[in-house]
Amino acid sequence: MNWKKIIAIGLTGCFLFSGCAEQRQNAQKMGEEGTQEDSYESTTFAMDTVMTFHIVAPDGEDLLIDAEQEVKRLEKLFSVTDEDSDIEQINDNAGDKAVTVSADTLALLKAGKQLGKATNNAFDMAIYPIVKAWGFTENEYTIPTQETLDTLLPLTRVSDVTIDEDASTVYLEKEGMAVDLGGIAKGYASDKLAELLKKKGVKSAWLSLGGNVCAIGTKPDGSPWRIAVQNPADENDYVGVVEISDACAVTSGGYQRYFEENGKKYHHIIDPATGKPAESGLTSVTIICKDGTKADALSTALYVMGLAAAEDFWRQTGGFDMVLISKDGRVLYTPGLADRLTEVEGSGYAYACIEA
Ligand code: AMP
Ligand code: MG
């Protein structure tokens, strides 16, 4: 993945319903009243996105620094612009030799590979050559020819990413291959941050990493955190609010990054079967589950799959909730959200619960 800014449009997919109105550059103590007394919040830029951390704890100010350091540490491992990063090393040595990587890189690539398999390759962490061909890595957009795509598609097979856990090495079997963790790294980072903060005793916090929101515990008063799901058609609007506690909510949407040519929009979520932006009839997918890494990979994968296949995937595997927004104006959610999703009256969308 390239951390360079591509086109980040509007909000980030899902966001804290009441907590994101203000962004603060540094750690700030929030209101002095009641339970908010020990709330601290800071905003940082990492992994090509704006991140806001909100921690409710007496030592919140120090914890914010710990969290920022942790995310910068992970960014250094996963960046493709930093020559020394694990990912840059892996990509540089594609088709040549195996590279020794950190435990975090190994864990993330292992999860990526497993989620690739689970989604029948709709999530493809080896998609980088195609993402690059469309210009999403450098902001220099082009529509690749079919010939180019045909040449590159064989270089995007996750089965050619060889992970040797005992040796802590990763090898890309073919020259020209490259891994792209853009669809999963923020999820992994949110899991690591939550783990770190929980270890330090945090019982109430939320972490917003671009379109990834991870909630630790509940609000100080015991009520769940409220996450808004962005309206794909209007960056300043949302289509629903989902209540979560101790879980992550991750949104993928074509509206988040795209370019336009001859009146047609080309977005950044690629269907690995065609090498082209997924045209699946969905405009947004939000996945809610405890595991932020899984939620991140699934949001990308289910966007690629489209409505019917996403529903089938959920029925067959379970273990997560989701909100799907379709091009034809429907908001579909899993039964687990029936009591936790507040619809927006007059939004123009038709809401329906997916049958189990
Ligand atoms: P997300 O916003 O989590 O859906 O991730 C989208 C990003 O993941 C893109 O900007 C690409 O860097 C990368 N990507 C695009 N298509 C795929 C795919 N099918 N599988 C995995 N990663 C992808
Ligand atoms: Mg994702």
Distance 304 CA to ligand 2 centre (A): 11
Dist CA 168 CA 235 (whole Å): 42
The residue whose C-alpha atom lies closest to atom 15 belonging to ligand 1 is: 269
Q: Which atom of ligand 1 is nearest to the CA of 125?
A: 21
Residue 337 has a pLDDT of 98
Q: Which atom of ligand 1 is nearest to the CA of 270?
A: 16
Distance 300 CA to ligand 2 centre (A): 4
Ligand nearest to C-alpha 292: 2
Distance 269 CA to ligand 1 centre (A): 5
Residue 138 has a pLDDT of 87
Ligand nearest to C-alpha 272: 1
Dist CA 284 CA 291 (whole Å): 19
| Residue whose C-alpha is closest to residue 62's, from 202, 191, 190 | 202
Residue 29 has a pLDDT of 60
Residue 278 has a pLDDT of 98
Averaged over successive runs of 10 residues, the pLDDT of the chain (356 residues) comes to: 31 64 45 62 94 96 97 95 92 98 98 98 98 93 97 98 98 97 96 98 96 94 96 93 97 93 95 97 98 98 98 97 98 98 96 96
Q: At 337, list the tokens.
A: 């959200």
Ligand nearest to C-alpha 4: 1
Ligand nearest to C-alpha 1: 1
To test the ligand 1 pocket, which listed residue (91, 125, 139, 180) has its Cβ within 8 A of the most ligand atoms?
180
| Residue whose C-alpha is closest to residue 20's, from 47, 60, 44, 53 | 53
To test the ligand 1 pocket, which listed residue (5, 156, 300) has its Cβ within 8 A of the most ligand atoms?
300
Q: Is 301 left (phi over 0), alpha (psi -120 to 50) or beta?
A: alpha
To test the ligand 1 pocket, which listed residue (6, 269, 298) has its Cβ within 8 A of the most ligand atoms?
269
Say what the pTM is: 0.93
* 5-9, long-range: CB < 8 A, 24+ apart: 5/48, 5/139, 6/48, 6/136, 6/137, 6/139, 6/257, 6/268, 7/139, 7/257, 7/258, 7/259, 8/49, 8/210, 8/256, 8/257, 9/235, 9/255, 9/256, 9/257, 9/258
Dist CA 322 CA 288 (whole Å): 6
Dist CA 83 CA 192 (whole Å): 23
Residue 14 has a pLDDT of 79
Distance 214 CA to ligand 2 centre (A): 14
Residue 82 has a pLDDT of 86
To test the ligand 1 pocket, which listed residue (153, 270, 283, 298) has its Cβ within 8 A of the most ligand atoms?
270
189 φ/ψ angles, rounded to the nearest 5 degrees: -60, -40
Distance 8 CA to ligand 1 centre (A): 14
Ligand nearest to C-alpha 180: 1
Dist CA 305 CA 271 (whole Å): 8
Q: What is the 3 state secondary structure string of the chain?
A: CCCCCCCCCCCCCEEECCCCCCCCCCCEECCCCHHHHHEEEEEEEECCEEEEEEEECCCHHHHHHHHHHHHHHHHHHHCCCCCCCHHHHHHHCCCCCCEECCHHHHHHHHHHHHHHHHCCCCCCCCCHHHHHHCCCCCCCCCCCCHHHHHHHHHHHCHHHEEEECCCCEEEECCCCCCCCCCCCHHHHHHHHHHHHHHHCCCCEEEEEECCEEEEEECCCCCCCEEEEEEECCEEEEEEEEEEECCCEEEEECHHHCEEEECCEEEECCEECCCCEECCCCEEEEEEEECCHHHHHHHHHHHHHHCHHHHHHHHHHHCCCEEEEEECCCEEEECHHHCCCEEECCCCCCEEEECCC
Dist CA 353 CA 241 (whole Å): 15
The residue whose C-alpha atom lies closest to atom 8 belonging to ligand 1 is: 183
Quick one: CA dihedral 213, 79, 182, 315, positive or negative? Answer: negative
Q: Is 48 left (phi over 0), alpha (psi -120 to 50) or beta?
A: left
Name every protein residue with a CB atom under 6 angstroms from any ligand 1 atom: 1, 123-125, 127, 131, 136, 180, 182-183, 211, 252, 257, 268-270, 272, 296, 299-300, 304
Residue 17 has a pLDDT of 77
To test the ligand 1 pocket, which listed residue (79, 127, 230) has its Cβ within 8 A of the most ligand atoms?
127
Distance 270 CA to ligand 1 centre (A): 7
A 10 A CB-CB count for 226 gives 18
